[in-house]
Copies of this chain bind each other. A is one copy, B any other.
Amino acid sequence: MANRLAVIGGDAGGMSAATQARRLDPSLEIVAFEKTEWTSYSACGIPYLVSGEIGTLEQLVARSPQEHRDQSHIDVRIHHEVMGVDLPGGRLEVRDHVRGRTIQVPFDMLLLGMGARPIRPDLPGIDLPIVHGVQTLHDAAQLLRYAERSRCSDVVVVGGGYIGLELAEAFIEREARVMVVERDPHVMSTLDGDMAALIEESMRKLGIELRLNTEIIGFDEDAVVTRDGRISADLVIVGIGVEPNSELARDAGIELGVRRSVRVDRRQRTSAPNVWAAGDCVESFHLVSHRPVYVALGTIANRHGRVAGINIGGGYAAFPGIVGTAVTRICATEVGRTGLNEREARDAGFEFVTAIVDSTTTASYFQHAQKITVKLLAERRSGRIIGAQIVGGRGAGKRIDVAAAAITAGMDAGQLVDLDFGYAPPVSPLWDPIASTARVILSDL
């Protein structure tokens, strides 16, 4: 009889593992449970759905349940919610929301891919209908329906992280008045303040109002209540980060790690035999800080899933760890970051020097030249690059990948100066902006 793999969660982590396992082991029986109707979708695309840059929700679905069934012979059950994991019995308790019944599903191997949910602060009014969180396509559908039904002329975004800022911009595209309320002195806590200030500048240019250093204490039916007074709103989006859906694992006695995410070994195995985990419910290892970190990103979820799937399918793969790369585009400004920012570097115990250099995306004399600002952090003494941040015009964001490669390879500032960067006037200044910044670091060391 074939082994049965059960997968909890039909998005990136779960389905990339399932697909990869199928490739290696055609005899494996694979069943996947997804509580919504969607599988393998791009949650990262939701802001662009709101802005109208993407036409339909369906475009965000990389692989539908039917495609998974047809192409990979995975028995995908949508509207099925796993309620409990019985490890000793090797069984899942699954609620079938369509038929309104609960079933018991035996498994030989289990993949945890429950993902994450938006953090909902425990504040008065958090459950009012104007308050939304956005993580799943289900959330997106609700938000779109709400936005179409209501006027949504006053949108307040609580929290200045990636998804919050992307949605702020999206509602500007929908001609709303948009305010972002952030508790800290700057938006984008993954960047240092000096770099985040550049984003704030471009947000204000687009007409987004910013309230920094402002704490929310509750929500009304038509307002956000802060320590400094009420801000009227007909739509509130809370984007203060996500937390792992790890309760099923915890209740089954599986070990949790940083921020209650599921702890895994190099092969994505949890503390329980024959149980793997992948995606936004799982911790990762940071190659620079040498610490476990919780980072919920689609890229990492897919890479977790690939590794878990290879191992489940009988192959061998080890997850190499991350360096914390992230990019986005906020108001025509692109942002990239990798490695550690100043706070993270201090927390990890590093002494370091920093340099910030303004340059241009193309040769400065070129008519399309746009500003690009690069910040580098290098360890004192060794000169090893431990962090990079980029803010700039079109094409600036993805240049962070070069820094990610350099950090992964353990390059020092001198090696980055010496790197054989490509140059042509329409795409770069003669000294690449990253190399220019490394030169300043080198002279400071």
Q: Which of A297, A320, A415, A419 has the most CB of B within 10 A?
A: A419
Residues of chain B within 8 A of A329, CB atoms compared: 424, 426-427
- Judge if A338 is at the interface, Cβ distance under 8 Å: yes
Residues of chain B within 8 A of A324, CB atoms compared: 420
Instruction: Give Cα distance in the complex from A12 to B430, angstroms.
Output: 10
Nearest residue (CB) in B for A324 is B420
- Judge if A350 is at the interface, Cβ distance under 8 Å: no
Instruction: Give Cα distance in the complex from A396 to B47, angstroms.
Output: 24
Q: Which of A210-218, A271-279, A363-371 contacts B (4 or more CB under 8 A)?
A: A363-371
Partner of A405, one of B328, B402, B424: B402
Range of interface residues on A (Cβ < 8 Å): 35 or more
Residues of chain B within 8 A of A394, CB atoms compared: 394-395
Question: A365-B60, A398-B399, A402-B402 are known contacts. Are A423 and B45 too (CB-CB below 8 A)?
Answer: no
Instruction: Give Cα distance in the complex from A398 to B359, angstroms.
Output: 15
- Judge if A161 is at the interface, Cβ distance under 8 Å: no
Q: Are B401 and A54 in contact (CB under 8 A)?
A: no
Interface flags for A307-338 (1: CB within 8 Å of B; 0: not) read 00000000000011011111111000010101
Question: A42-B363, A366-B54, A418-B303 are known contacts. Are A48 and B428 too (CB-CB below 8 A)?
Answer: no
Instruction: Give Cα distance in the complex from A401 to B405, angstroms.
Output: 10
Residues of chain B within 8 A of A427, CB atoms compared: 327-329, 334, 397-398
Residues of chain B within 8 A of A423, CB atoms compared: 44, 297-299, 327
Instruction: Give Cα distance in the complex from A322 to B409, angstroms.
Output: 17
Chain B min CB distance to A36 (Å) = 19
Partner of A420, one of B325, B397, B426: B325
Instruction: Give Cα distance in the complex from A319 to B419, angstroms.
Output: 11
Chain A positions 387-407 with a Cβ under 8 Å from a chain B Cβ: 394-395, 397-402, 404-406
- Judge if A408 is at the interface, Cβ distance under 8 Å: yes
Q: Which of A42, A408, A427, A428 has the most CB of B within 10 A?
A: A427
Q: Are B45 and A425 in contact (CB under 8 A)?
A: yes
Partner of A421, one of B60, B334, B401, B421: B401
Chain B min CB distance to A427 (Å) = 5
Residues of chain B within 8 A of A400, CB atoms compared: 422
Partner of A365, one of B54, B322, B401: B54
Q: Are A404 and B419 in contact (CB under 8 A)?
A: yes
Chain B min CB distance to A38 (Å) = 14
Question: A328-B424, A329-B427 are known contacts. Are A419 and B405 too (CB-CB below 8 A)?
Answer: yes
Chain B min CB distance to A296 (Å) = 13
Instruction: Give Cα distance in the complex from A48 to B366, angstroms.
Output: 8
- Judge if A270 is at the interface, Cβ distance under 8 Å: no
Q: Are B54 and A325 in contact (CB under 8 A)?
A: no
Chain B min CB distance to A266 (Å) = 12
Instruction: Give Cα distance in the complex from A93 to B66, angstroms.
Output: 81
Chain B min CB distance to A208 (Å) = 17
Residues of chain B within 8 A of A162, CB atoms compared: 424
- Judge if A27 is at the interface, Cβ distance under 8 Å: no
Instruction: Give Cα distance in the complex from A48 to B427, angstroms.
Output: 12
Instruction: Give Cα distance in the complex from A75 to B285, angstroms.
Output: 56
Can you identify 20 A-B contacts, CB atoms within 8 angstroms? A42-B425, A44-B423, A48-B425, A53-B366, A54-B365, A54-B425, A299-B431, A302-B431, A303-B418, A320-B418, A323-B420, A326-B422, A327-B422, A327-B424, A328-B426, A328-B427, A404-B419, A405-B409, A408-B420, A409-B409
Q: Which 3 A-B pairs have the closest CB atoms?
A: A409-B409, A327-B422, A405-B405
